[in-house]
Amino acid sequence: MIQKSSNFLIILSAPSGGGKSTILNEILQRMDTVDYSISYTTRAPRGTEQNGVHYHFVNERQFEERIASGDFLEHAKVFGKSWYGTSISYIKSRLVRSRHVIMDIDVQGASQIAATDIPYVKIFIIPPSMEVLKERLIKRGTDSMEDIQRRLDTARIELNCIPEYDYLVINDDLEQAILDVINIIKAEENRVSRYSNPMQGFLQEEQ
């Protein structure tokens, strides 16, 4: 019988306001083989965010202790304010249970993961233009104009990292963007490199 190790980390990155969180939540609802990686952060909860559901909210001392213990697959300070990090022990615990793990992180964190031995696919999500991104940030109504400009400036820098990703999804039509990500995941499950000696597995009963 042909055997394969099809489980991997699904990394979604996008400029702030690019729609990655919305797409991620839809993937979790539509694919029962995918778990969400809950990140650790030192920022305060926003709105209805709950500890242990949306993030693990910790203080800087607790975050630094996790860095020292080597528990983070990646960690970074975002916008020079708050730390974010991903637990490597959680990721591995899900992969060994034949689950995919999906996460939304910035380009800094994604580059750190690429240097590890965790199997992954990296997807960059972007609106059709900078003007559309600006409109979405304004409509979101959660940031000052100063913060919005800082996010747009950061987005221009993040665009330089697109060549480091495996796939690019244009989030113009949300439903189509969701389907594009689902199709990427399904295609990656059948990548030849994820199979363990398929010829031998196919011919095994004949021997």
Tell me which amino acid residue 58 is. V
pLDDT at 1 over 80: no
Position 207 confidence tier, pLDDT thresholds 50, 70, 90? low
pLDDT in the model for residue 206: 60
47 in a structural domain: no
65 in a structural domain: no
CA 33 – CA 25 distance, rounded (Å): 13
Given a contact cutoff of 8 angstroms between Cβ atoms, the answer to whether 46 and 200 are in contact is no
Round the average pLDDT of the chain to a whole number and report it: 90
Per cent of the chain over pLDDT 70 is: 96
CATH of the domain at 120: 3.40.50.300
107 in a structural domain: yes
Q: Read off φ and ψ for residue 19, nearest 5 degrees.
A: 100, 10
pLDDT digits (tens, 9 = 90+) for 71-97: 898 888 877 789 999 888 889 899 989
Range of the domain at 122: 3-37+99-206
pLDDT in the model for residue 78: 78
pLDDT digits (tens, 9 = 90+) for 41-68: 999 998 888 998 888 999 999 999 999 9
**Residue 44 per-residue DSSP state:** P
53 in a structural domain: no
50/207: higher pLDDT? 50
196 in a structural domain: yes
Structural domain total, the chain: 1
Structure token pair of residue 139: 């409509």
pLDDT digits (tens, 9 = 90+) for 31-43: 999 999 988 999 9
Tell me which amino acid residue 21 is. S
Q: pTM of the prediction?
A: 0.83
**Residue 119 per-residue DSSP state:** -
pLDDT in the model for residue 14: 95
Per cent of the chain over pLDDT 90 is: 58
Quick one: how far is CA 19 from the chain centroid? 12
Given a contact cutoff of 8 angstroms between Cβ atoms, the answer to whether 94 and 101 are in contact is yes
